[in-house]
């Protein structure tokens, strides 16, 4: 079963949106799933996580990262501001309106600079809707930013315990593949 939940037909489309240089672009005609498989076979999985974040639709990318960050936060004494950023990001998944999205940004700004919870909450803010202040003319986020923040949140969460880094990356990639194939249903099966 292929990745029927994604809109991209070629890996070059994804790589272009990610800002890849011409020398880093996949060959024409390569499907995103095939290019991802070559990246997943790489040394540390980071490139595959970044590609998956760019490939998934915004909501799915945030939900994917949310599951991994939340799981990695379990049993960990997070600083209160980081916990709040995580809570706001997860709350937005249940209500994707503008108020929770903007609340996630405020929580992200208070969270630690290097926390995966901050990255996740920023992903929520840049997932859609205007990024300007409400009283100003709307400014849409750049394409792909939410996926970059989602992937960054996963990479940062995986780096918290270096001995477990590879296992967390592998678990994230396994879940990302399921989401690319089955959509949000994959999260309820987890």
- Structure token pair of residue 103: 């609340």
The one-digit pLDDT tens for each residue of the chain (190 residues) are: 689 999 999 999 999 999 999 888 999 999 999 999 999 988 889 999 999 999 999 999 999 999 999 999 998 999 999 999 999 999 999 999 999 999 999 999 999 999 999 999 999 999 999 999 999 999 999 999 999 999 999 999 999 988 999 999 999 999 999 999 999 999 987 6
Whole-prediction pTM: 0.95
46-55 and 58-73 are packed helices; what angle lies between their axes, rounded to 10 degrees? 140
Q: How big is the chain, counted in residues?
A: 190
| Angstrom distance (rounded) from CA 78 to CA 136 | 35
Cβ burial of 178 (10 Å; 0-12, 13-18, 19+) is: middle
- Residue ranges per structural domain of the chain: 11-189
- Tens digits of per-residue pLDDT, 168-180? 999 999 999 999 9
């Amino acid at each position: 079963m292929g990745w029927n939940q994604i809109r991209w037909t070629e890996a070059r489309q994804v790589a272009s949106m990610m800002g890849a240089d011409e020398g880093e672009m996949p060959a024409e005609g390569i499907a995103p799933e095939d290019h991802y498989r070559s990246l997943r076979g790489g040394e540390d999985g980071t490139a595959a996580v970044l590609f998956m974040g760019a490939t998934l639709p915004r909501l799915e990318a945030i939900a994917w990262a949310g599951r991994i960050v939340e799981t990695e936060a379990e049993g960990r004494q997070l600083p209160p501001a980081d916990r709040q950023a995580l809570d706001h990001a997860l709350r937005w998944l249940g209500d994707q309106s503008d108020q929770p999205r903007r609340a996630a940004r405020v929580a992200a700004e208070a969270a630690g600079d290097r926390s995966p919870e901050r990255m996740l909450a920023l992903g929520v803010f840049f997932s859609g809707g205007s990024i300007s202040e409400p009283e100003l003319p709307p400014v849409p986020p750049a394409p792909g930013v939410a996926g970059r923040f989602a992937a960054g949140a996963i990479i940062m969460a995986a780096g918290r315990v270096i001995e477990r880094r590879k296992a967390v990356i592998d678990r994230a990639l396994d879940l990302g593949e399921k989401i690319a194939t089955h959509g949000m249903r994959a999260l309820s099966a987890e």
